[in-house]
Structure 1
């Protein structure tokens, strides 16, 4: 059995160049096999930066490459469904950037294609591979917070680059798709269920949401509120409040070292968080799942549920 998964990169996007490809190179059980780009200038850069990778001028050529086992999809959100399904039908495993699709229906289509092709498909929520989230899971599992009654979660940054796909409605832009999907995924990790009602409000610019807040209520009465945006000062924070305590999660979705804080009636304690390699761990786990024939860390059921909540939020906007 091979000990290396041969990766192809479907589009030389910024996140592929800066995060995914370096992660593949240090994963240990993965190798960079090929890169596809429709941009000749980008391919020239690839040839210089990654001389051992084969270069393809079309996406179809990459999918037809027999020396590629798995495809990483960093394309605009609007293209995730079609190219992921095409890759699966070509016999490739797929790691697709978040959000996995634009709607839950699209995500279900992708899941069905993965099942039919007998290939793995995972949404690339790299933050799930950090020591911070491991420690969060430990606190939640301990029960020391009591019954969870409220969750606050925010992910906001200031977008200082012009003409990005984040601002283009036709490509699936907007803050909810770009960063709001993270707090929603965290809510899914905590609750493991769907809300029963939702109300959201957004500030729109050029057809996309640049500032959005949503209030969600669950069947047991628990309430969660989330905020996302890219038109104001950065803020990344979450808190989980139960009947017996409160968990504060600073820098929620990063892999930086830091601390969690637990507040209970007996006092306050901090939990050290180690620096992590979230992208490296993500590619290492997904590659291992391919090699071992197992399910990776993040399941398709979670990703579909995430999209169902995104659907609810979009549909509730005035």
Structure 2
């Protein structure tokens, strides 16, 4: 079972967040006033997370928008630090002794929780080869100190061993260093990692929640080009975009042409725009942005399902 939230005064269990149904066809699609359906993800602490039981062993519930500890009956407000760990790309290379010292000092100033990095490439050092020593140490230290953790486990930057064909392609057709959100093998590797890390620590009282994503984008956040070069210009992503357009316009290329001011004879001819509209008015580019958001959301949702199944 996944991590659950038990609403106050409600006998059942539900997943945080409600997602409105959307009309699926036409360029002017808007949310429809219908009964919402539960989804797995909540946008909290700058990322997408699933809630977990607190150290006392009970549930964390949401009451009037706040966390509540069901064991004590009191509100539980996370206060602490975003503590970067085992992430050499940002020079977070602390030794175990430094980790222990830092976490103890943060506990001394009454921190009760930390956001930490469980960086994919630092844990899965090669395909299906895992080094859990540092994350085991962080979790155990948190348990010893009575700290709750919000581990960040979802990244757009995959491990260095990733095959190049699983990486996104830039608009200038160069290979990027971020994950291809649409590639089925890249998605499989991502969900496998999420499943393994959440399953490993499912019984730890230190885990408050899993942050399943942070700063996802269809460009490289660390790129030096200004403006950034967008990605998604590979055949798999292009096919996914065309399929999204076909569904969005109910299979009518005439409807797309009417909205875009184009003359395509089929969806197979449609190409992704590579230029950001200077006047911000470009229906084709607007549709591309909507697809990018859907693409990232679909990919992260697979990670959420993996976490729910493993944890």
TM-score band (shorter)? under 0.3
TM-score (normalised: structure 2): 0.24
Give the number of the structure whose residues are more often strand, by fraction: 1
Q: Which has the larger radius of gyration?
A: 2
Give the number of the structure whose residues are more often helix, by fraction: 1
